[in-house]
Structure 1
Amino acid sequence: MTADDAPPTLHDDRLSAEDLLASPRGRSLVFGLALEQVESFPWTGDEEAPGAEAVVRNLRCLCPIAPTWSAVKEAMSDVVDAAVYWQPPDDDDWGTAEIGEVREALRPFAEMLVSTGLLDAWSKPLDPDDQWALGWDDKELNEVNGRYTGLPAVFDLETGPTDERIEITLTDLYPPLDEDGTRLPWGFDEWLASVLTTETRYRHNFAKDPYDELTGEWWSTPPHGLWSSTGTWPDGTPIGLELVEDDLGLERARTCRLRLRPDARIAEIRRPEDWADLCRRYPLDVTAQRRQVWFETTGRRGRWVIPDWTRVAEEYDGVHVGLAGYLRAAGAVIDVAEGHLGEDPDPDTVPTAGNTDDRTASLMAGWHPDTTFWLNDVIEAVTEVAEWHYDSDADRWVQD
């Protein structure tokens, strides 16, 4: 993967049934659609939480039918909403689908889904003319939590197209907190210093007690406070409104259409190999701070790395994880390399007690589908502002 790579054709890179069955999120999508084929899934037997044998038996009783677009979008929303990286997966969700027999029972449903062509467009690369940044209005949520932050400055703007350059800073989209603290955007230097300091602290703790189950951050996204954007569904709804990992009940948002610099360099994460490539070229060891929390969600102990976004930014201006890339890579243990990367660590402080293997791996966690993080200053202007709210009666996002 290089900055000069031409985007693949949809035919070459579109999702296959095997892609869906090989990944946690893909299996979850297929499993959810299979369950939606009947009003109440006819589990045979008396199991309240059916095991793999009952799941296989009942899946084989169903004849796959072609899902509608709305059913696929709703199922995808459920997949993203249920994504967790800090605890074991639920047995009644994609955790069950991890079992080989269940996976094979899902194959006819995956093949039916792919044959509809509904997922073909999910493999498209970033569309620079259809990028929207989101400013969330979390007033009600914050009042419930006792820390009302006020509205971002973007909510003071008039909605609709604009012929003028609108200067919106990061602090407008991510406003400071009140006197209890600040939530200002981090620069890359602050982010890297925090990761390195945290890793050192966790390694020292590990040296004192290798079996202390300390948890740490679970996400592997670039620093909080960078600009990010999303594309839209065919009906014009921004994808980032509907597909949000770790959704806290947000119900209002302003979306800002961005004009990007035409020479922006984009790293496309289409497959796990693309993520692994970033980790191999720009590794940042986070084994100590991720070892327990990622063990909870994957069952793996071993060396963990994430991309060093400070170095990725030297080659790319943005990193885009499309819908297909998310289904293929999110939540999966991504093999990076055998053994270790970089210099040999101190054997007395290496946090690898209880390893299940000696390989280096990574986890793409905390990425919303079809999200691009902008690592450098390539946003020239905001050309349109729109306000959206979640209509609970219609169960969808509606533009005001």
Structure 2
Amino acid sequence: MTADDAPPTVHDDRLTAEDLLASPRGRSLVFGLALEQVESFPRTGDEEAPGVEAVVRNLRCLCPVAPTWSAVKEAMSDVVDAAVYWQPPDDDDWGTAEIGAVREILRPFAEKLVSTGLLDAWSKPLDPDDQWALAWDDKELNEVNGRHSELPAVFNCSLVPVDTVAGRPTIALADLFPPLDRDGTRLPWGLDEWLADVLTTETAYRHDFAKNPYEEVSGEWWSTPPIGLWSSTGTWPDGTPIGVELVEDDLGLERARACRLKLRPDARIAEISRPEDWAELCRRYPLDVTAQRRYVWFETTGRKGRWVIPDWSRVAEEFDGVHVGMAGYLLTAGAVIDVTEGRLGEESENIPTAGNTDDRTASVMAGWHPDATFWLNDVIDAVTEVVEWHYDGDADRWVRG
């Protein structure tokens, strides 16, 4: 996590085999690629796919083969599709396994994957010249799940004036949103409203727990900034926006409008490259959500204790955008992120503690898509390019148009 007025944190950016094996999403990626080799074993007649014990036995005997780029992309898509934060993981989800034996079985496959160099670029920071906001063209799904409708597609590209210097359409932000009042367009940042809602919800849950300390009530599961902020994604080497292929909880979205953003050059970016970066945001700007996340995150992690998320209204005082890169997602998403020993932030007798598994403060990065950036402040100058994308079921890929 870096600011423009401080030297960036320097990591050995390239992912290692140990990095992948230490994280739930990393293990899932390695296991998915290893399973492809097991499933490639020839079977005769009506022979069923191998069970878990047979998979383990076969993995021990296999000599790992270097995966192709397309296989890695498909396996990563499967990892994101399987990401859930509101229920217990599947029994056969190796991404959640912590025992040493599982890691050792997967280690040769992780080492082979890393040796290909296919993941080297996944550790790069945000590219300000390659940021695309996505508008999902599916009214029914947007009504069911408003988390996907960050950018309404309300303009007609044929009517947009062309920048004669760059030769590309220049679209003002006002073209993207209908006026909300007589004064013209207002952008729906909503950080203060979001904070008020989180605090109100937390208070209500605490009152419920005070009445019944063992009540199991599920609340919101995500830890993203509020709906209504702009978000963006980069592109794969072939130009496809990463955000159309790798979407948590996508509900079958099939059409998108990608809008290329022009950012202010002085935009301050917080990079989430590793769990420690997320933990640092939580330590500096803690927002206690123990009561409302207590049961839902216990379901997915098996932990009961004090939970915090970053207070995005305060993060916005230091950073304009928060970027979770591909490596940051693999290493951080879905893991119990240790923030600090003991309590952090306010002291309150109303914070539920019954049945706690430990006395630490932790967090979960949930609901983020790989290579996603949320923009907390007004640093987007314009949209300079618009591309329509749709999912081609026959080709099993996203294509332009």
Report the Cα distance in structure 1 between the residues aligned to 2:361 and 2:27, rounded to whole angstroms. 24
Q: Equivalent residue of 2:93, what SS? A: coil
Are the equivalent residues in 2 in contact too, given 1:161–1:385 (CA < 8 A)? no
Match of 1:378 in 2: 379
The more displaced of 154-163 and 189-198 is 154-163
| 2:169 equivalent to 1:168 | no
Partner of residue 189, structure 1:
192
1:42/1:199 CA distance change after superposition, 3 Å: farther
> Partners in 2 of 1:299 and 1:250 — Cα distance?
31
> Which amino acid in 1 is paired with 2:361?
T
**Structure 1 residue aligned with 2:67:** 67
| Residue identity matched to 1:189 | D
User: Does residue 109 of structure 2 align to residue 80 of structure 1?
Assistant: no
Verify the 8 A CA contact 2:135 2:153 in the aligned structure 1: no
Identity of aligned residues (%): 82
Q: 1:6 to 1:233 in 2, by over 3 A?
A: farther
Shift of 1:92: 2.2
Question: Could you tell me which of 301, 305, 310 is aligned with 2:304?
Answer: 301
Tell me the amino acid that sits aligned with residue 171 of structure 2. I
Task: Spell out, residue by residue over 1:226-273, the C-alpha distance to the aligned partner (whole angstroms, 9 max, x if none).
Answer: 000000000000000000000111111110001100000000000000
> Does 1:350 find its partner at 2:355?
no
- Would you say 1:279 and 2:282 are equivalent positions? yes
Question: Could you tell me which residue of structure 1 aligns to residue 232 of structure 2?
Answer: 229
Within 2, Cα distance between the matches of 1:337 and 1:109? 33
Unaligned ranges ≥5, structure 2: 164-168, 181-186
Over residues 320-368 of structure 1, what are the superposed CA-to-partner deviations in whole Å (9 max), with x where a residue is unaligned?
A: 000000000000000000001123212xx22121100000000000000
Structural RMSD (CA) = 2.8
**Counterpart selection for 2:314 from 311, 315, 323:** 311
Which residue of the other structure, out of 336, 341, 359, is the alignment partner of 1:338?
Answer: 341
One-letter amino acid matched to 1:156: N
Deviation at 1:50, TM superposition (A): 4.2
Tell me which residue corresponds to 1:181: none
Q: Shift in Å at residue 58 of structure 1?
A: 2.4
Equivalent residues, number: 382
Is contact 2:272–2:278 with CA below 8 Å preserved after alignment? yes
Query: Which residue is equivalent to 1:362?
Result: 363
Cα distance, 1:134–1:5 mapped onto 2, change above 3 Å:
same
After TM superposition, give the deviation of residue 166 of structure 1 in Å.
Answer: 1.4
The amino acid that maps onto 2:307 is W
Alpha-carbon distance between aligned partners in 2 of 1:55 and 1:224, rounded to the nearest angstrom: 41
1:180 alignment partner in structure 2? none
- The letter for the 2-side match of 1:128 is P
The match for 1:387 is: 388
| 2:222 pairs with 1:216 | no
Query: For 1:237-248, what aligned pairs fall within 5 Å after superposition?
Result: 237-248=240-251
Distance 1:382 1:198, change over 3 A: same
5+ long unaligned stretches in structure 1? 177-183
**Which residue identity does 2:205 align to in structure 1?**
Y
Q: Distance in 2 between matches of 1:343 and 1:293?
A: 22
Q: Distance in 1 between matches of 2:79 and 2:275?
A: 18
Give the structure-1-normalised TM-score.
0.89
1:169 positional shift: 5.1
* 1:124-143 superposed matches below 5 A: 124-139=124-139, 141=141
Q: Which amino acid aligns with 2:211?
A: K
Report if the CA contact (8 A) 1:294-1:300 is conserved.
yes
How far apart are residue 27 of structure 1 and its match?
0.2
Alpha-carbon distance in structure 1 between the residues aligned to 2:385 and 2:367: 27
CA contact (8 A) 2:285 2:315 kept: yes
Counterpart of 2:319, as a letter, is Y
Task: Report SS of the residue matched to 2:338.
Answer: strand
Q: In structure 1, what residue type is equivalent to 2:224? A: T
Distance 1:281 1:58, change over 3 A: same
Q: Does the aligned pair in 2 maintain the 1:302–1:358 contact within 8 Å?
A: yes
For residues 14-34 of structure 1, the C-alpha deviation after alignment (integer angstroms, 9 at most, x for no partner) is 100000000000000000000
Q: Is contact 2:24-2:334 (8 Å) kept?
A: yes
Give secondary structure in 1 for the equivalent of 2:343: coil
Distance 1:37 1:63 in 2: 9
Within 1, Cα distance between the matches of 2:234 and 2:16? 22
Change (3 A) 1:171 1:98: farther
Distance change (3 Å), C-alpha of 1:154 and 1:191: same
Does 1:22 pair with 2:25? no
Equivalent position amino acid for 2:106 in 1 = L
